[in-house]
Amino acid sequence: METLEKVAQRILNDSGCPDAELSVVIVDDVEIQQINREYLQRDKPTNVISFAMQEGEDVGLHPGLLGDVIISADTAARDAREAELSFESELYFLLLHGVLHLLGYDHERGTEEQARRMEARESELFSRIEEEFLS
């Protein structure tokens, strides 16, 4: 978990918010499905869910607190096997993906341009993560 913390700090540093706080929770498919159903009305497991603290009614309440990133280890392991990647590579990518959502990037509800912008930022930051933590 120490490396996961270092990866998270690298993402925050490279995103211009080195002092921001976030929580990272690793769960199984059963738990992420429950969270997905309860909060997003999607009754299925998923790989990562982010809950931003800088959106909604409580914006600005804790300006340094970005939010929560919840990752399913089961789905990450399955996706890594299917893509012939290491579990760590998939885990770090999902962490990056979740943090980018906390920072306001959106590939689902936004425009195609916003999706491309998120994908480009993911590629840029993940190449740095690969160099530092996966080589």
What's the confidence (pLDDT) of residue 55?
Answer: 64
Percent of the chain that is helix, strand, coil (3-state, to 5): 60, 15, 25
Inter-residue contact 4 to 96 (CB < 8 Å): no
Neighbour-count burial of 30, counting CB atoms closer than 10 A to its CB (0-12 exposed, 13-18 middle, 19+ buried): exposed
Tokens coding 19? 């002092």
- pLDDT value of position 110: 75
Question: Could you tell me which residue, 75 or 2, shows the higher pLDDT?
Answer: 75
Contact at 8 Å (CB) between 10 and 129?
yes
Render pLDDT for 60-98 as a digit per residue (tens, 0 to 9).
666 789 999 999 999 999 999 999 999 999 999 999 999
pLDDT, tens digit, for every residue of 109-126? 878 999 999 999 999 999
